[in-house]
Amino acid sequence: MIVAQGALDKCHADGYRVSLTILDNSGLVKLQVRGDGTGPHTLEHSRRKAYTALTFKRASGETAKAWAAATTPPPVIEGTVGAQGGVPIKAGSEFIGAVGVSGAPGGEKDEACAVAGIAKIADLLK
* CATH number, domain containing residue 95: 3.30.450.150
Q: Which amino acid is at 21?
A: T
12-42 residue pLDDT tens: 999 999 999 999 999 999 999 999 999 999 9
pTM above 0.75, yes or no: yes
Tell me which residue range forms the domain holding 50: 2-125
- Indicate the number of domains in the chain: 1
Residue 124, CA distances (Å) to 89, 91, 118, 120 in order: 11, 8, 10, 9
96-120 residue pLDDT tens: 999 999 999 999 999 999 999 999 9
